[in-house]
Each structure stands twice: as C-alpha cells, then as structure tokens.
Amino acid sequence: MRLVQCLRSKLKDFSNFPKEYVERSKRQVYFETPRARNYLPRTVERKKYRYTTNRPWTEEWGYFRGDRVEVLVGKDKGKQGFITQVITERNWVICEGLNWHYRTVAAEKGFPGILIKSEAPLDVTKDIRLIDPSDLQGCEWEWRYTEEGEMVRVSTRTYMLDDCSECIA
C-alpha cells in the first residue's frame, strides 16, 4: 500500500509524467564539466525556465480548449470565438479565427514574397472574457462546488453553470 502511495505522489494528474521527468525536460544547461575524476561536477544552467507554445505542465487552469470567449481588445473587439490552444505559463490562449497577424516570407528583390496568416495569442487577464451560456454575453466567473462535490465554473452575473462537458481539458 505504501509503495502505491509513493508512486502515485510522483505522478501528476495533468500529464501522467513523473515530476523528475518534467523537471529534467525543462532543464536548460549552458555548460557542464566533463565526467572525469579530475573535474568537480559543475553546471551552468538557466535559473528560470522560459515557457513557449510547447506543451505546458501545470496542475490547474480556468480556461480550456473548446471554451467560448469574447475578445476585449484590438480589431476583433466584441467578436466571439472558441479556444483552440492554451499556454498557461504565459497566460495565453489562441482563439479560432481571431487575432490574426500576417507575416511575409521569402521576400526578395524581384519577388514580393508570400503572405502567411496565423493566429496570435491573447492574454487571459486582460484580452478575453468567458461567455455566459444563458445569454451569450461576456461575464466574470468563479469556481464553486455542486451538491455532489464536483467543482464547476459559475457565472457571477447569472449564476448559471458553465457546461464544460464538451470542453477538451
């Protein structure tokens, strides 16, 4: 029984990877001394990990893929869309069809180049707002417990439960 508890504490629910694996994969080593008898083991590594759009390893988050959100800033202000990707470490979400930016590739002297369109990330703290399922308006939300003890998102304006059954966590 103790062995099972020990092994379970090493695993995280969000990714089923052991904690040591996650820490080792995030490690960025700039220099490491050779593994020889006449060298002391020293490493020069990055202290703080810089997260990008790669797979995040976090335990809890309030926004999920498939959530309907409203954009609060930019040229898409007031438009609604669905979240396609979540980058929790940078507080970013990428919404389907919203917040496009254009990039020119292979531009040369005689060739104007190719214009590539891609979705830029939005900051969850100030750029988006979740949509209330009852009236499809933007709202603030909070976590609450149901009578069965399940944790659910609730709109603070209408106190309507957010049905996250179709959301992909």
Q: What is the pLDDT of residue 5?
A: 62
Judged by DSSP in three states, 90 sits in helix
Class of domain 67-155: mainly beta
The residues, ordered by sequence, that sit 6+ positions from 56 with a Cβ below 8 Å of its Cβ are: 86, 87, 88, 89
Domain ranges of the chain: 67-155
Decide: pTM greater than 0.85: no
pLDDT, average across residues 140-154: 85
Cβ proximity of 168 and 67 under 8 Å: no
Rounded-to-integer distance, Cα 115 and Cα 167, Å = 33
**Predicted confidence band of residue 150 (pLDDT cuts 50, 70, 90):** confident
The residues, ordered by sequence, that sit 6+ positions from 96 with a Cβ below 8 Å of its Cβ are: 81, 82, 83, 84, 119
| 166 vs 37, residue with greater confidence | 37
- What is the chain's mean pLDDT, rounded? 79
pLDDT, average across residues 138-156: 86
21 alpha carbon, distance to own chain's centre: 19
The residues, ordered by sequence, that sit 6+ positions from 25 with a Cβ below 8 Å of its Cβ are: none
| 5 vs 167, residue with greater confidence | 5
Rounded-to-integer distance, Cα 56 and Cα 5, Å = 25
